[in-house]
Structure 1
Amino acid sequence: MTQPSVLREDPLTEDGSDFLAIDPLVVCPQGMFTKAKDMNASTANLFNILKKGLWKWTEDEDPIDNQPNAREDQNKPNWQETEDCLVLNINTPKIPADGEELKMPVIFFIHGGSSTQVWGAPFMGHKFMKHDVVLVTINYRLGVLGALNLGIDDAPGNAAMYDTLTALDWVHKYIHHFGGDKDRIVVYGHSAGSMMASMLLFSPLAEGKFTGVIGASGSALATWGTAEYNSLKHHLEVCFLAGCYPEFVEGEEPAENTDYNAIYACMRDTEEGVLRQALSRYSNKHQKAGGLGFDAKVPSVQHSPLITIPKFLEEMPAEILMKGKQNPANLIMGATRHDGSFAFEDVYKKYLVENNLVDDVDFMKNDLLNQMIKIMKATDKSGAFQHIVGKTYFGDAMKNGKFEEMLPGLIDLTSVWGFKAPAWELVEKHASVNPNSFYYAFDFAGFWSTCDMGGESEIPCGVPHIDDMSFTFQIFPIINEDYQVAERLVKYFVNFAYNGTPNNGSELLFWEPYDPMTHPFLKIDATDSIGYECRDSWIDNALEIV
C-alpha cells in the first residue's frame, strides 16, 4: 500500500500480443473521478474533468466540524484513489531503427495537483515533439497512499517519491528504445510536481538518475513542500480520522508501546474513499485553525530507527542545502506573476470566512500578518519582522485593517512566501554547487487563463498558478502572440535538456544565470527581458488585478 514501488518486468499480456492502453484505468483518474458519475466519461468530457482537478474541488467538500470518523461517510461517492495507476506515458518524435542510437534528451514530467489529484496522461507532448526530445509523464501514488509515514518499513513515508525513483529507473533501463538518452534526463515538475522534482536534489537515492531540474511554481524549501521534522503526529491524526488509531489525543505524544504495524494493517484494509475523506478532514481542520494542512500529504524526513529500507529523505532539505550536500544537477526554478492568488482563495474561504474574520478590523490590522508569519514557521518575538513586511507589502492599508485595501498585499505575500521566495532561495543557494542555476518570472497574461475555469471568485487571480502549463502543454488551443511565447518557453527548456543551460547561441534572449551581485532573472512576457534584483520585482504585482 505505502511501501516503495518496484519495476514490473513481466509482460502486460499473457499471450505476448501488443498491450493496448485504451482501458479507462489507463486514463488513471488519480483521485479526480467519482466512480458513481465519471468512470465511464468519454474522451470528449476529459477536458471538463481535468478542469476540476487543475482548479480545485469547490463542491461536495466535507464540513469541518462534527465528523470524527471518516467511516461514517461510506455512502458518499467512492473517489478513485488507487495504486493501479503506476504507469508512465512516452512521447517521442522518432523511434530508432534496429541498432540505431538517437540519444535524444529526456524531459521527465511530474504533474501537480496538491499531492492529492490529477494524473500524467493529459500533459501531452505536442509542443516538445517539434524538437528532438523525448517526453515522459508519470503517475505516482497520491494522498495517504503517497505519504503515510508511521516510521516502519511498511509505511516509511515518501511512497510518491519512491514511485518517482522507480519511474526514473525504468527510463534509465528502457528509454533508448524510444530514442532517449539515459544520461541526459531533466526532471520537470509543476506545483506539487515541482516540489517533488526539486526534492530529488536532496535524496541520496536519486544521485546519478538525472542531470537537471525544472521547477514551475513549487519548491522543496516551501513551508508546504516538506512536512515538519516530527511529522508522525500528523499521520497519526489521519489514521485516527480513518478509524485506525482511536488512542490519538491532539497535542500528546503517542505511547511508547504504540503498535504501528497494527495501525498500518488497519489503514491497509481501509477503503480508499475512507482514506481520502480522512485526509480531507485533516486538511480542512488545520486550515480553519490557520495552518496549511499539508504535513500529512507531502514528503517527510524518515528519521525512525525502525525503518530499515533505504531512506529517501534523512534530513530536512534546508539543512542539506546549507551543508552543500545536495545533488549537483543543473537547475531552473520559477513562478507566475500572481502565483498565490489561488492559494490565498483557500485561505480566504477556509480561514478568514470560516472564522468570521474578514470584517474584523482589529484582527486584520494586528493579528493576520502575525498568523501568516507563524504559518511560515518564522520567529518574530519583537514584531520587527511583521512591521517591515507590513510596510513593504501593505503600506498605508495596514493602518486601517480593511480587507479590501489589504487584498493586493495578501495576494502578493502569498505568492512570495508560497512560491517565489522558496524557488529563488533554492536557485540562490544551489548556485554555489552548480553555477548553471536560473530563475524565471512568468508574467504573460495569455488569451486563455485558468482564471476562466473555476467560475466566479471573490479573489482576482491575474496570471495565476497553472497558467504557464498551457504554454508548455496543450491544455488550451494556442493562438496569436501566445504561440510565440509558448515557442520560446519550450525552446528554453529544450536547450536546457540538451546543454544544461537554456542558452545555445540561438535567437533567444540570453538568460543570465544566478549572480550574487545582480540577482538576474528572465521575465517571460509578450517580449522577454532580463530583470535584476529579483526580490524587488515581487512587490505590488497584485495592484494591477484588484
Structure 2
Amino acid sequence: MEPLRILLAVGLLLGSTSAATLGVVQTEGGSVKGTNVRLGLLRSVDVFRGIPYAAKPGTLEKPTLHPGWTGTLKATKFAKRCLQKSMLQTSTFGGEDCLHLNIWVPHGLYVSYNLPVMVWFYGGGFMVGGSMGPNYLNNYLYSGQEIADRGDVIVVSVGYRVGTLGFLSSGDSQLPGNYGLWDQHAAIAWVHRNIRSFGGDPDNITLFGESAGGASVSYQTLSPYNKGLFKRAISQSGVAMCPWAISRNPRKITEEVAVKVGCPTDDKMVACLKSVSAKKLVMASPLITQGSPDKPAVNTLVMSPVVDGDFIPEDPVRLFHNAADIDYLAGVNNMDGHLFTSKDIPSIGKKEDISVDDVRMLLRTYTKGKGQAGLDAAFAEYTSQWGPNPSQDQMKITAVDIGTDYMFLVPTQMAINLHAAVAKSGRTYSYLLSEPSLLIGPGRPFHSWVGADHADDLQYVFGKPFTTPKAYGDAQKDLSGFLISFWTNFARTGDPNVGKSKVPVTWPRFTSTDQKYLEINSKMDRTYVGQKMRTRFVHFWTDTLPSLPSPAKY
C-alpha cells in the first residue's frame, strides 16, 4: 500500500501545482488572460503578451491613457513593434498602435504575490528596436522567462516609439520631442498602478535596459516626472551622457526630414509634419551608414532624446539630484566599441592591416572640437605604450579602446560618479563585463583578443545559455547564472550580493573615494574586484580634453 500512497501523494501534488496561475487579471483597462507555461514539477510562469499601456499615439504627440476594452483581452500574442525602418532601410515594418507591454510572472507551488518587478527597455540607437516577439527565425532574445523563473521576479518588456516618430524635435515647444521617453514613462506609471494585480510589488520596481535602452533607463532616473514610481535602475552599455544618446541640434535634422516629405522649414513646419503619414515620416529618417574613420557610424544615430525643458529640464549632468534615492547599477562591456569601430575601420574586422593614420583619423573625429591640440593630446595618451614598432594587434586594440571609451565607458563612469556624489539613500554599483566573444576561435571571424562586444551581455542576462544550451558551453552557463543572480538580487534588495540567489564573489559598492567595480567574467573570483576603471582615460576625456582651448576655426 505504501508505494500506492506515495504515487497518490505525487499525483495530488502535481494536480495542485498545475493550478498555480493568476488566471484572469483585472487591470485599469479591463480584464486580461495570458498563458501558463509549466517549467517543472513545482514551477510555472504566466506570460501576458501585448497588453496596451496607452492609446494609439497621435503622430508626434505624447501618449495618452488607453480607453480600455470590454470582455477579457486574450494577452496571448505579441503586439506589433513600433513603426520603424527595415534592416535594409528600404521599407518600414511595425505599426503605430504599438504602446504595449509583456509580463512574465513566476509561480511555485502557490500563486506568487508581492514580487520585485523588473521593467526592460530595448536598445537600437533610438532608431530601431523592439521586444515584441522573435528577433529572427524563432529566436526571441528578450523573453523574460529565465530571469523571472531563476530570480523569482516579475519581468515586464515595453514597446516605445523610435526614430522620427519617437524623437523628432524642432528644438522648442512647438515640437519638443522625447515622445519615446514619454512612452516609457507612461509604461512605468502603468506598471506602478497595475502590477499588484499580477502579484508584483509596486514599491519595488527596477528599470533595466541596454544601449539606447540603458540610456533610456538613465534618462528616466533623471526626469522629475518619475518621482516615486520606481526604486532601482540598471544601465547596460548606455547612459544619458553618451555622445549618441543626446541630440544637441535637433532642428537641423527635423528640417532635413521636412524637406524630404515636402514640408516648409518655417513656422508652418510642425503642423505640416504632423499631417504627413507615419510611414512617410519614418522613411524620411536619416540613414544609418557604414562609417569610416573620419565619419564614424555612431554619428549617424541622430534621432535621440533632447533637453526639452520639460521631461529633461536641463543638461543631464545637472539632473542627478533626481536620482539621489534610486539604487543605480551601471557598466559596460570591455570592447563595446568593437561593433562600431570595426565598421569605421573595416580592416579591424577583416583581419587586414590597420595604419597609424586610421587611428589618428578616428581620434581626430572624436576630438575635432579642440583642433590639432586635442588630436595631439589624445594620440599621445592612447599610444604611450606602443613603443617604436607597435604590432597590428596592439594598434587594433587601441582603436577599439578609443571607440569603447568615447562611446560607452567614459560617459558611464561619469554617470556612476555623478550618482555616487549626490546619492542619499541610493546605492551605486559599477561593472565591466570582460567575457571573450563567442565569435573567436578556429573558423570564426574575430581576432583572439576580442572581449565582450556591444550587446554580448544580452544573451547572458536573458538566459540564452539555458534556453539554447547547444550553442553554449559550461562557462557561458555559469556566466548567465551569475548575471541573473546579481541583477535579480539587486532588484530585490538594492544589493547585488543579497537576495534569493547565490553569487560567486562579493560586489563592493562604488563610492566617490574608492571607486570600486566588479569585472564580470565566467572565471571571476575575489581578484576580479577592481578600482578606478581606466581612470587615466576617463580623466583625459572629462578633464584634460575639455580644458584645452577651442580653436576659432577648425
Q: CA deviation at 1:261?
A: 3.2
Q: Are the aligned partners of 1:88 and 1:136 in contact in 2 as well (CA < 8 Å)?
A: yes
Q: CA deviation at 1:183?
A: 0.6
Specify the SS of the correspondent of 1:156.
Answer: coil
Specify the SS of the correspondent of 2:123.
Answer: coil
1:380 matched to 2:398: no
1:513 matched to 2:509: yes
Q: CA deviation at 1:413?
A: 0.8
The structure whose Rg is larger is 2
For residues 436 and 150 of structure 1, do their structure 2 counterparts lie closer, same or farther at Cα, with a shift above 3 Å needed?
A: same
Specify the SS of the correspondent of 2:218.
Answer: helix
- In structure 1, the partner of 2:544 is none
- Structure number with the higher strand fraction is 2
Give, in whole Å, the separation in 1 of the partners of 2:485 and 2:291.
43
Give, in whole Å, the separation in 2 of the partners of 1:527 and 1:432.
32
Give, in whole Å, the separation in 2 of the partners of 1:366 and 1:497.
43
1:217 matched to 2:272: no
Q: Are the aligned partners of 2:115 and 2:153 in contact in 1 as well (CA < 8 Å)?
A: yes
Map Cα deviations across residues 281-338 of structure 1 (whole Å, 9 max, x no partner). 38679997557445641110114xxxxxxx21121102334xx454531100011121
Q: CA deviation at 1:20?
A: 4.6
1:126 matched to 2:145: yes
The residue identity in structure 2 corresponding to 1:463 is A
Q: Are the aligned partners of 2:236 and 2:330 in contact in 1 as well (CA < 8 Å)?
A: yes
1:116 matched to 2:127: yes
Taking structure 2 as the reference length, the TM-score comes to: 0.73
- In structure 1, the partner of 2:30 is none
Give, in whole Å, the separation in 2 of the partners of 1:319 and 1:31.
32
- In structure 2, the partner of 1:64 is none
Map Cα deviations across residues 325-375 of structure 1 (whole Å, 9 max, x no partner). 5453110001112110012133236x999xxxx9886x547554222213x
- In structure 1, the partner of 2:10 is none
Give, in whole Å, the separation in 1 of the partners of 2:73 and 2:171.
41
Q: Are the aligned partners of 1:337 and 1:464 in contact in 2 as well (CA < 8 Å)?
A: yes
The residue identity in structure 2 corresponding to 1:19 is K
Alignment partner of 1:498 out of 487, 492, 510: 492
For residues 282 and 459 of structure 1, do their structure 2 counterparts lie closer, same or farther at Cα, with a shift above 3 Å needed?
A: farther
Q: CA deviation at 1:516?
A: 2.9
Specify the SS of the correspondent of 1:210.
Answer: coil
1:258 matched to 2:267: yes
For residues 237 and 284 of structure 1, do their structure 2 counterparts lie closer, same or farther at Cα, with a shift above 3 Å needed?
A: farther
For residues 524 and 465 of structure 1, do their structure 2 counterparts lie closer, same or farther at Cα, with a shift above 3 Å needed?
A: same
Q: Are the aligned partners of 2:82 and 2:162 in contact in 1 as well (CA < 8 Å)?
A: no
Give, in whole Å, the separation in 1 of the partners of 2:96 and 2:225.
22
Alignment partner of 1:79 out of 92, 104, 119: 92
- In structure 2, the partner of 1:531 is 530
Q: Are the aligned partners of 2:298 and 2:340 in contact in 1 as well (CA < 8 Å)?
A: no
- In structure 1, the partner of 2:137 is none
Number of matched pairs:
454
Give, in whole Å, the separation in 1 of the partners of 2:436 and 2:360.
34
Alignment partner of 1:240 out of 259, 267, 272: 259
- In structure 2, the partner of 1:343 is 340
Give, in whole Å, the separation in 1 of the partners of 2:109 and 2:270.
48
Map Cα deviations across residues 408-446 of structure 1 (whole Å, 9 max, x no partner). 211011011111111111111101222510111111126
**Mind listing any 5+ residue stretches in structure 2 that lack a counterpart?**
1-58, 133-139, 539-554
For residues 339 and 290 of structure 1, do their structure 2 counterparts lie closer, same or farther at Cα, with a shift above 3 Å needed?
A: closer
Give the 5 Å matches for 1:352-371: 363-364=357-358, 367-371=361-365
Give, in whole Å, the separation in 2 of the partners of 1:521 and 1:371.
30
1:425 matched to 2:444: no
Give, in whole Å, the separation in 2 of the partners of 1:460 and 1:85.
41
Q: Are the aligned partners of 1:207 and 1:327 in contact in 2 as well (CA < 8 Å)?
A: no
Q: Are the aligned partners of 1:202 and 1:327 in contact in 2 as well (CA < 8 Å)?
A: no
Q: Are the aligned partners of 1:101 and 1:176 in contact in 2 as well (CA < 8 Å)?
A: no
The residue identity in structure 2 corresponding to 1:436 is R
Q: Are the aligned partners of 1:365 and 1:399 in contact in 2 as well (CA < 8 Å)?
A: no
Give, in whole Å, the separation in 1 of the partners of 2:344 and 2:263.
29
- In structure 1, the partner of 2:381 is 392
Q: CA deviation at 1:487?
A: 1.2
Taking structure 1 as the reference length, the TM-score comes to: 0.74
Give, in whole Å, the separation in 2 of the partners of 1:369 and 1:330.
35
Map Cα deviations across residues 215-244 of structure 1 (whole Å, 9 max, x no partner). 11111111111111x422222222223333
Give, in whole Å, the separation in 1 of the partners of 2:475 and 2:390.
41
1:487 matched to 2:481: yes
RMSD: 3.6
Comparing 312-321 with 398-407, greater Cα deviation is found at 398-407
Give, in whole Å, the separation in 1 of the partners of 2:477 and 2:348.
39
Q: CA deviation at 1:91?
A: 0.4
- In structure 1, the partner of 2:213 is 193
- In structure 2, the partner of 1:544 is none
- In structure 1, the partner of 2:158 is 138
Give, in whole Å, the separation in 1 of the partners of 2:156 and 2:190.
11
Q: CA deviation at 1:124?
A: 1.0
1:269 matched to 2:269: no
Specify the SS of the correspondent of 2:243.
Answer: coil
The residue identity in structure 2 corresponding to 1:260 is M
Map Cα deviations across residues 116-167 of structure 1 (whole Å, 9 max, x no partner). 2221133112322223210000110111011011256673200110110111
Q: CA deviation at 1:459?
A: 12
Alignment partner of 1:437 out of 428, 437, 447: 428
Q: Are the aligned partners of 1:32 and 1:118 in contact in 2 as well (CA < 8 Å)?
A: no
Q: Are the aligned partners of 1:189 and 1:196 in contact in 2 as well (CA < 8 Å)?
A: yes
Alignment partner of 2:306 out of 300, 320, 324: 300
Q: Are the aligned partners of 1:328 and 1:433 in contact in 2 as well (CA < 8 Å)?
A: no
- In structure 2, the partner of 1:21 is 76
Greater RCO (CA < 8 Å, at least 6 residues apart)? 1
- In structure 2, the partner of 1:37 is none
Specify the SS of the correspondent of 1:135.
Answer: strand
Q: Are the aligned partners of 2:431 and 2:520 in contact in 1 as well (CA < 8 Å)?
A: yes
Give, in whole Å, the separation in 2 of the partners of 1:28 and 1:340.
27
1:161 matched to 2:142: no
Give, in whole Å, the separation in 2 of the partners of 1:486 and 1:352.
28
The residue identity in structure 1 corresponding to 2:76 is A
For residues 183 and 457 of structure 1, do their structure 2 counterparts lie closer, same or farther at Cα, with a shift above 3 Å needed?
A: same
Map Cα deviations across residues 48-88 of structure 1 (whole Å, 9 max, x no partner). xxxxxxxxx4xx46xxxxxxxxxxxxxx5x31143222110
